[in-house]
Amino acid sequence: MLKEPSPQQHELEMVSLESLVPDNHLLRKIDQYIDFEFIRDRVRHLYCSNNGRPALDPVVLFKMLFLGYLFGIRSERQLVREIQVNVAYRWFLRFNLT
C-alpha cells in the first residue's frame, strides 16, 4: 500500500547541536586541542573600548577564516553560505541552529 508522505517541515523537534556533530569529526579534535581564546588577548590593543560600534568577535572571525583554509573554501561569500548549512561548522563557531 502506497502512503502519502506526511509533511516533515512543520514538525517541532528538540535537538542539540552537540548531538548532531559526530564524535570523531575533525573539528571536534581541533576544538579539543586548540584553544583559540589567545587571539582575543593578542588583538585587544587594536580595538577601542569606549568609541565606535561594537566589534565582531575576533575569535569567531579567525575561526571562520580557519574553516575556509582547512576545507578549501576560497570565497568568503561561499564560506558564509557553507556556515549557514553545515552543522559542524556552526558547532565549531559556537553558533546555534537559528
What's the confidence (pLDDT) of residue 7? Answer: 67
Place 12 in a pLDDT band, splitting at 50, 70 and 90. confident
Among 5-14, 15-24, 31-40, name the one with the lowest average pLDDT. 5-14
pLDDT tops 80 at residue 41: yes
Return d(Cα 5, Cα 84) in angstroms, integer. 27
Question: pLDDT (tens digit, 9 = 90+) per residue, 79-90?
Answer: 999 999 999 999
Q: How many residues does the chain have?
A: 98
Higher-scoring residue by pLDDT: 68, 53: 68
Exposed / middle / buried, residue 92 (Cβ in 10 Å: 0-12, 13-18, 19+): buried
Cα 8 to Cα 12, 13, 45, 96: the distances in Å are 9, 10, 49, 21
C-alpha dihedral, 77 to 79 to 84 to 88, nearest 10° = 180
